[in-house]
Structure 1
Amino acid sequence: MTTDTSAEITDPSLAREAEPLVQRLVEDRAASKLAASDPTLWGPEAESEASVRLAWTTLHETSRGLLAEIDALRAELHDEGLSRVVLAGMGGSSLAPEVITATAGTQLVVLDTTDPGQVADALEGELDRTVVVVSSKSGTTVETDSHRRIFEQAFTEKGIDPARRMIVVTDPGSPLQELGEQAGYRRVFTADPNVGGRYSALSAFGLVPAGLAGADIAALLDDAAAAFPDLRSDDPANPAVRLAAALAAAHDNGAEKVVLADSGSGIVGFGDWVEQLIAESTGKSGLGLLPVPVENVEAPGFATAGQDATPVAIGPADGTASVSTHGPLGGLMLLWEFATALAGRLIGINPFDQPDVEAAKRAARGLLDGPAGGPAATPLTVDGAVEIHPNGEWLSAGVGTVAEALRALVNAAPRNGYLAVQAYLDRLDDASISVLRPELARRSGLQTTFGWGPRFLHSTGQYHKGGHQNGVFLQITGDPGSDMEVPGQPYTLGALQRAQALGDGQVLAQQHRPVLRLHLTDRAAGLVELVKAVQDLRAAG
């Protein structure tokens, strides 16, 4: 092996279990076939989808032509004093640019929310020097379209030509391409349509916003190119083959959760990016790997991972990890993409479809089409500034406090289940709520994930509905301080956010999963009460 991009199985027992799967991938020449875009690797049922989803394997070469275009546009923008880049995108369109720019230390304002307060904060930036990258593969993403409408109106109200401030990244032939060209947007980039969203980090979706924000995207491609010869090799030392075999062997032995912690990689937020890649690629047909990004290698759920989870260090090998992956960002992205696709072959799923994502979108749309003002709900009971809304019939009517409801939710989890915390709030102003993840993990004894809504709907939302059905779900919603109209649409951002939470909860409940929604009628007071209720739970064990 010739590069700094590596994967090491540090748990001897897991290494022994993975070895037969390593040999199977080597004998099948799976890595070289994947690099050559062979769509037959995942069986006849997946072949049609895979045949139009494999161009990502050579993006480190095919994206080179974008570099000069992006550099020229960035120089042009800076000559006009436009140095603030706002990215309107969801899922694969936002997570890769965010980790690229955060790691590079360059500023990118990422809008992957329907929270009115967070969008208002983005609008309160310096519009005079702002450009907006509107990024959507389908060109119909409701959140992204809402952001576009809101910014266009804001520019117009300030006497700024919105078309000169709008840059589009989309697939060829999408409604967004047509709109951008008809409206005369400053630039419309079309990406390779044979790349799925979660595998698009090294395409225009990752490179355009990151490059305009000042990240060294040429180095990113260079690092991926350096890793590629090893990743396509049918050598048993291939790091992607070894990582895929380890994950699949663990899955087959009941460790379907992958706990991800940084161990000094120097990369910021990699767990959030790889979470989407793994969950949406593998979580289907009642199978798959649930990624659990945690705060550090000492966090609850990592060092204390039980038999249902595999701790993976992102960075140098850590003594508590079973697996570690190491390398520069471009190399690591390509490593995990290869490994995820190969793990899909071993587990027996199609890693390129997302059959359960649309269900929550349909439910949200149905609720938005209901009474004016969006969906409403009557709480089971109210505890201070927190309304308690169970979805389904799993919670006793006698529950009167938030702490009691939380304990009931934890008790509803099956053995080796997991708890998913889903916060439909402002991930900047309400960031303190993320403390709930380690606290709940410590006190419940369950592997616990934390996701900001609605962005997780474009990633782990697939796993929640299609993966192992052993999760319980804590939704946290809150009254916005003030709402925001979506120009040209019959709903507000607040109504859309509420519909997304209720719609997803509705779909999960239909699959007989326990869902508890805690609605904060006063966000600040409700957050304090919620944290106290979690602390009042008896520690697990």
Structure 2
Amino acid sequence: MSSLEFQATGEARAAADAHVPQLVDDRVASRLFAKDATLWGPEAEAESSIRLGWVDLFAESRGLIDDITALRDELRTEGVDRVVLAGMGGSSLAPEVITATAGVELIVLDSTDPDMVAAALADRLESSVLVVSSKSGSTVETDSQRRVFEKAFADAGLDAARRIVIVTDPGSPMDKMSREAGYRAVFNANPEVGGRYSALTAFGLVPSGLAGVDIAGLLADAEEAAEFLREDDADNIGLALGAALGGTAPLRDKIVFVDEGSGIVGFADWIEQLIAESTGKLGTGVLPVVVEPGAPELEGADDLLVVRLVNGEDDTTAGDASNEVRVSGSLGSQMLLWEVATVVAGRLLGINPFDQPDVEAAKVAARGLLDEQPEPVPAQVVDGAVELRGTEGLLDGVSTLEEGLRRLLGELGTEDYLSVQAYLDRIGAAPLASLRQRLAATAGRPVTFGWGPRFLHSTGQFHKGGPRVGVYLQITGANDTDVEIPERPFTFGQLISAQSAGDATVLADLGRPVLRLHLADRSAGLEQLEAALAGLAGQ
């Protein structure tokens, strides 16, 4: 427990002071760890009763360690030391953070972009093992990735079944299919843990352990933290953090995360999906905004709360009026802390933190487009290598990319945020993420950045279920090559196109402004986008 530290100032401190005494009186912490499903009200009880397995999974998870370690050693003896993970949402974000923090390689394939899929297939296939993580096995991204890797292994003369490891719920369609197919190993996770709370289950531990992480240490840190987080005590950090996130009055519903030397690589991205998908529903919720040190959002606004992720040696204390939180601790302890804080915030917000009622909408729209294969919607504006499409009226009178961007930014109100959604290869196009900070400086409002389609399994819930204050910029790009999906009537290129178009349709149907930029030539289009951003900054 000593590794966890928490400070709060301004309205964050006031929220903790206001709510923690009642949370203690209501025995929220002890009831949570006793798996009391009534904590979030009658309407949430049915779902909550089958989603609290994460509070006491330590013994169960420790039982996986020997099998994971033995499999890792077997694979390395056979010269197989490159681990590729096919997973989405919490199933991929947690292992990505765990392995990056430990400094070991894990190839996270959480995209349907043909370039990213092709790159994963082309690199050291002969020494690769594929871990497929899916609770049900029906997730279209992971199913497609499994199919293309299985074929690639076979085409290379390798025993495909010996190169595939499955993580899924017991009794799921994937569980049955995988055992019948004779895959190398099938690990079952606790079915009473939702994907975004699954970091310390088989979903987080199997790929991380196979990649070489000390997963026993990770679990030990979390178990130590649990001893304090379960106490009905005024000094319970989980209660205080949850109150700061969900209990400010009026609610500061944009939570700005900045990593200032925490030592946990990419942790804010994991927290982002946990909080956004857990709280963004019924027209309420808090939106995580992951920013860089020095980002414009850190200057603060009436609807912003700043969370600084720091290391335990940081003794800086912000002024009392700064409205911010500072958190430090080991990875395992913080994963449990943020899970506890998120469900506490859910109680204060009056929502069920375990469902995701609006995620399915984009999936349904994408499936419809895949089934129908309609002709592409004509571009409303073409500026060089960039095609522009927008919601009704957005592009009236617009003739250039810069004008289109300026028009979209003009839709931002005093409580709005801009969401940038890039359906591109997040490895090859990584520099594109830098436009987040530049747009924030120009817009004067919080800007989030997400790689599609992975954000659909996390922040996508908030975009559709949270407050109607989002303005959306979608970026897609043409591919020089495409990748076929075995035994499926669509390619990866068609899949990602349907996913982007489907989500844009759902957002538009909710009455939100959406500007879609399609880079007919990726290189030239990115250069144009760079020039347009420079023009906006100089306006």
Matched with 2:359 is 357
**What's the secondary structure of 2:227's corresponding residue?**
helix
From 236, 243, 262, the counterpart of 1:265: 262
Aligned positions of 1:485-500 closer than 5 A: 485-500=484-499
Matched with 1:195 is 193
Q: Which amino acid in the other structure matches residue 306 of structure 1?
A: A
Superposed displacement of residue 536, structure 1: 1.1
Superposed displacement of residue 539, structure 1: 6.4
Q: What is the alpha-carbon distance in structure 1 between the residues aligned to residue 183 and residue 351 of structure 2?
A: 40
Q: Which amino acid in the other structure matches residue 337 of structure 1?
A: E
| CA pair 273-491 structure 1, distance change in 2 beyond 3 A | same
Superposition CA RMSD, Å: 1.3
Q: What is the alpha-carbon distance in structure 2 between the residues aligned to residue 500 and residue 143 of structure 1?
A: 10
Aligned positions of 1:257-406 closer than 5 A: 257-296=254-293, 298-302=294-298, 304-315=299-310, 316=314, 319=318, 322-371=324-373, 376-390=376-390, 392-406=391-405
Q: What is the alpha-carbon distance in structure 2 between the residues aligned to residue 406 and residue 141 of structure 1?
A: 33
Superposed displacement of residue 410, structure 1: 1.1
**What's the secondary structure of 2:232's corresponding residue?**
coil
TM-score (norm 1): 0.97
Q: Which amino acid in the other structure matches residue 257 of structure 1?
A: K
Superposed displacement of residue 60, structure 1: 2.6
Question: Does residue 516 of the first structure (1) align with residue 518 of the second (2)?
Answer: no
Q: What is the alpha-carbon distance in structure 2 between the residues aligned to residue 140 and residue 45 of structure 1?
A: 27
Matched with 2:203 is 205
**What's the secondary structure of 1:423's corresponding residue?**
strand
Superposed displacement of residue 375, structure 1: 5.4
Question: Does residue 152 of the first structure (1) align with residue 147 of the second (2)?
Answer: no
Count of equivalent residues = 532
Matched with 1:473 is 472
Q: Which amino acid in the other structure matches residue 479 of structure 1?
A: A
Contact 2:112/2:492 (<8 A) preserved: yes
Contact 2:175/2:186 (<8 A) preserved: yes
Contact 1:394/1:514 (<8 A) preserved: no
Q: What is the alpha-carbon distance in structure 2 between the residues aligned to residue 350 and residue 375 of structure 1?
A: 39
Contact 1:474/1:515 (<8 A) preserved: yes
Matched with 1:71 is 69
**What's the secondary structure of 2:270's corresponding residue?**
helix
Which runs of 5 or more residues in structure 2 are unaligned? none
**What's the secondary structure of 1:188's corresponding residue?**
strand
**What's the secondary structure of 1:131's corresponding residue?**
strand
| CA pair 106-488 structure 1, distance change in 2 beyond 3 A | same
Matched with 2:224 is 226
Q: What is the alpha-carbon distance in structure 1 between the residues aligned to residue 57 and residue 2 of structure 2?
A: 18
**What's the secondary structure of 1:519's corresponding residue?**
strand
Contact 1:267/1:329 (<8 A) preserved: yes
- CA deviation string 1:346-390 (max 9, x = no partner): 11000000000000000000000113xx65121111111100010
Following TM superposition, the consecutive aligned residue runs of length 4 or more in structure 1 with deviations greater than 3 angstroms are: 316-321
Q: What is the alpha-carbon distance in structure 1 between the residues aligned to residue 434 and residue 317 of structure 2?
A: 24
Q: What is the alpha-carbon distance in structure 2 between the residues aligned to residue 134 and residue 488 of structure 1?
A: 18
Q: Which amino acid in the other structure matches residue 295 of structure 2?
A: A
Which runs of 5 or more residues in structure 1 are unaligned? none
Contact 2:247/2:345 (<8 A) preserved: no
**What's the secondary structure of 2:130's corresponding residue?**
strand
Matched with 2:450 is 451
Q: Which amino acid in the other structure matches residue 202 of structure 2?
A: A
Residue range with higher mean Cα deviation, 122-131 or 252-261: 252-261
Q: What is the alpha-carbon distance in structure 1 between the residues aligned to residue 399 and residue 501 of structure 2?
A: 22
Contact 2:472/2:513 (<8 A) preserved: yes
Contact 2:12/2:323 (<8 A) preserved: no
Q: What is the alpha-carbon distance in structure 2 between the residues aligned to residue 114 and residue 480 of structure 1?
A: 12
Aligned positions of 1:93-132 closer than 5 A: 93-132=91-130
